[in-house]
Amino acid sequence: MLKRTKSIIALSVISATPTLFAQEAGRIQAGQFDLIPSFTSSMAYVDNVAYARDDDPEIYSWRATISPELIAATQIDGNPFQVGYRLERGVFFSSSADDYTDHFIEASGEYELNSRHRVNAIAQYEDGHEERGTGFSLGLGTAITTPDRYKSTSLGGEYSYGAVTSDGVITLKANRETLDYERSEQAYLIRDRVKNKVGAELGYRIGSATTALLDVTQTFVRYDNQTGITTRDSDETRVLLGVRWESTAATTGFAKVGYKEKDFEAASRSTFYGTDWEVGIEWRPISYSTFRFSTNADTRETNGEGNFIRGRDYTAAWNHEWLSRLSSSISLTRETNEYILDEDDIENRDDELMRYMASLNYQARRYLSFSLFYQLVDRDSNRDSIGYDRNVVGISAEVTL
C-alpha cells in the first residue's frame, strides 16, 4: 500500500461515470483496473511544533491533516500490478509557517515467469518535507522560517530463482535512491546524493520450518556537490549470516548478523569496520494479541557533523483486539545515533531518541474507523543544542468504500 507515514488521514472524492460501477467492498471497477480510494484525516495538539531545544521557547499548535489516496490495481497475465497516488496536507492553526503539502507516487508489480523464476519491482517518488528541527535542521528548528522541502526517488527490483518448495532460493537485488533538497544554500547542496545498491540473498532450508540465510550487499554513495568540503563519497560492503524460522504457528522471525565496511573515497576520512545486524520476531500467543520485536544496526549518512552516523534501533510493539471492533496498539522505540568524527580531540556526538506511541482504534463501520492516539518523542545528546521533547495527542478517522 502507498501509505508510508503515520498520523495521516484523509478524504477523496471519486466521480461516478457510466464506465465506473461499484464492485466488492472498497473497490470500483474501471475497465481492467480496480480503483481503491480512501480518505484519512486527523486533528491533533502539538506542544513543540519546531522541535525547539530544551529550555528554548516552544510553539504550541493544533494541527489538522487530510490525506486522500487512490490506488489502481490490476493483473497482467495473472500477475499483480498497482499504481497509487497519495496527497497529504497539514495545517497548523498557530504556526502557518509549518503548513505543508506532500505528494507520494508508487508503482509496484510482480511477475512469475514460471515456478522457478520470479521478478518483482517497485518505484517510489516523494515530494516531501522535513519538519523544522529535524533532519539537517536538527537543533535549529526555531532558527529557520519554513520546513525543508526535498524530492526523493527509489527504484528497486528483485529476481528470485528457485521453486517455493525448493531447499534453496537465491534472490538478486538492485536499488537506486536519490535525494535532492530544494534549498540553494551550500549547506544543503552538499547533502544531495545518490545511493546505488546491488546484492544477493541465498536461502537454504535446514529444517521443516527453518531457513539459513546469507545476505551480501554492496552500496555506492555518491554526493552531487561537495564543493568546499572533503567529499563524503563512499563504498559500503555488508555481509550478514542468519536464519529465518516459523517454529510454531505462534512464532515467526528472522535474525541476521555480520560484517559492515564503509570505505570513504577521501583518504582523510577513516574507513569504518563494524558489526551489523537485523532481527525481527513476531509472537502471537493468542489469535487476537500480537507482540513484535525488532532491532538493527547499520551506518547512515550524516545529517550534520561527522563522517557518518552509526545507528542502532530497538522497537517493541503490542497489538491487541479487545472486542471485534475495538483494538489498541502500543510501541516503544529506542534509537542511538553516534556521529563518527576523525578529530582525536573532539568527542563523538551521541544522540539517544525515545519514541512512545499508543492508540485506541475503533472500527465503527466496515468503511469507517477512528483512532485516538498519543506520541512522545524525547531526544537526549551530549551536545547541549540538540535535546528536545515533543508530545502529540489527537484523533484520526479513515474512510474507505
Whether pLDDT at 178 is above 60: yes
Q: What residues contact 157, with CB distance under 8 A and at least 6 apart?
A: 119, 120, 121, 122, 173, 174, 175
Read off the C-alpha cell for 170. 537465491
pLDDT tens-digit map of 86-109 = 999 999 999 999 999 999 999 999
Instruction: Give residue 400's pLDDT.
Output: 92
Reported as a pLDDT band with limits 50, 70 and 90, residue 2 is low
Our count of domains for the chain comes to 1
pTM of the predicted structure, to 2 decimals: 0.89
Instruction: Give residue 234's pLDDT.
Output: 96
Does residue 276 sit within a domain?
Answer: yes
The mean pLDDT value for 189-201 works out to: 94
Would you say 266 and 230 are in contact if contact means Cβ atoms under 8 Å apart? yes
Instruction: Give residue 55's pLDDT.
Output: 80
Q: What is the CATH number of the domain that holds 271?
A: 2.40.160
The mean pLDDT value for 156-179 works out to: 94
Does residue 3 sit within a domain?
Answer: no
Would you say 396 and 42 are in contact if contact means Cβ atoms under 8 Å apart? yes
Whether pLDDT at 324 is above 60: yes
Instruction: Give residue 60's pLDDT.
Output: 96
Does residue 14 sit within a domain?
Answer: no
The mean pLDDT value for 345-358 works out to: 90
Read off the C-alpha cell for 231. 567529499
Read off the C-alpha cell for 17. 461515470
The mean pLDDT value for 289-301 works out to: 96
Does residue 2 sit within a domain?
Answer: no
Reported as a pLDDT band with limits 50, 70 and 90, residue 198 is very high
Does residue 10 sit within a domain?
Answer: no
pLDDT tens-digit map of 367-394 = 999 999 999 999 999 988 889 999 999 9
Amino acid type, 8: I
pLDDT tens-digit map of 4-62 = 543 322 323 223 333 333 345 578 888 889 999 999 999 999 999 999 988 889 999 99
Closest CA to 128 of 87, 159, 156, 167: 87
Reported as a pLDDT band with limits 50, 70 and 90, residue 303 is confident
Query: What is the percentage of the chain residues whose pLDDT exceeds 90?
Result: 74
Instruction: Give residue 279's pLDDT.
Output: 98
Does residue 11 sit within a domain?
Answer: no
DSSP per-residue codes, 104-118: EEEEEEEEESSSSEE
Does residue 290 sit within a domain?
Answer: yes
Would you say 150 and 129 are in contact if contact means Cβ atoms under 8 Å apart? yes
* Range of the structural domain that residue 298 is part of: 20-400
Instruction: Give residue 162's pLDDT.
Output: 92
Does residue 12 sit within a domain?
Answer: no
Instruction: Give residue 1's pLDDT.
Output: 55
Average pLDDT, rounded, for the chain: 90
